Amino acid sequence: MSKSPDTLRPEILAYYKKAPEATRLQTGPFKLEFARTKEVIRHTIPAPPARILDVGGGTGPYALWLASLGYEVHLIDPVADLVNEARLRSEKATLPLASCRIGDARALEAEDCFADVILELGPLYHLTNRDHRLACLREALRILSPGGIVIVAAISRFASALDGLFRNLLSDPDFTRIVERDLHSGVHRNDTGRLDYFTTAYFHRPVELEEEVLEAGFQDVRVIGLEGPAWLLSDFERRWHDSERREEILWIARVLEQEPAIRALSAHLLAVGQKPEN
């Protein structure tokens, strides 16, 4: 398979040229996504100085945070603009990234057993073909050392429906049609030109994500709902800036993260798996 970034669909590349990806995790409910993802990572991965490969690492928010903790972090992303931004940020950091380059999650330029931890916090979003998602996960398996950890992010099948309800987007028939397709097939397509309707993506059910990670060869797989219900709060910013209310938000996300009946209420799912020792 080609290692060219052109393997991303044109509309996805166009989206990331316009979307404020560099600042996304610093705004609104995305702050909860960022805080919870870091929390899960810290509780899951070995202590530094482990080697981490951040695949689909974008502008580097997680990679640079992990580098600051003493990890050896290598960032890969298919979007040149995002990689360039990550490289600039790394050059200014006290503890920079070990490397930062363009690459395709399905065919990585890394040797077998290269990393102790692989983060895939974006690649599965934009692979609508199941075989491509499995190829991505199998590459992670190849590159991990025995016993290594993979952490994979996915978007919940119901994210657009819930977002549309709480942001009053369902009054737009175009958005309603997008939601209907999402619920039916999991394939999200946006031909409206509206940036806030996202871009071509795949939305997972929790069990489906678990099955894919297991089929790729990982063991001890668990899937958590990342944010819980709080990402839907209309007064999220007010509560997040109140330390007591913020801790309530985080506590609810933690205690509900593996409840089967409620995981898919989160906007994002995280799957954690381990490469077999032999």
Residue 64 structural domain: 5-157+203-274
Burial label, 13 (beta-carbon count in 10 A; 0-12, 13-18, 19+): middle
Is the link from the previous residue into 123 a cis peptide, with omega within 30 of 0?
no
Q: Is 186 inside a domain boundary?
A: no
- The CATH number for 242's domain is 3.40.50.150
The total number of structural domains that make up the chain: 1
Strand partners, 101: 76
This prediction has a pTM of 0.95
3-state secondary structure of 107: strand
Instruction: Give residue 275's pLDDT band: very low, low, confident or very high (50, 70, 90).
Output: very high
* Percent of the chain's residues with pLDDT above 90: 94
Q: Is 71 inside a domain boundary?
A: yes
Residue 59 pLDDT more than 70? yes
Q: Is 241 inside a domain boundary?
A: yes
Helix (H) or strand (E) holding 31: helix 30-44
Q: Is 239 inside a domain boundary?
A: yes
pLDDT in tens, 194-231: 999 999 999 999 999 999 999 999 999 999 999 999 99
Q: Is 90 inside a domain boundary?
A: yes
d(CA 198, CA 159): 11
Instruction: Give residue 143's pLDDT band: very low, low, confident or very high (50, 70, 90).
Output: very high
d(CA 145, CA 53): 12
- Mean pLDDT, residues 163-181 taken together: 97
- Mean pLDDT, residues 125-132 taken together: 95
- Mean pLDDT, residues 106-126 taken together: 96
Q: Is 162 inside a domain boundary?
A: no
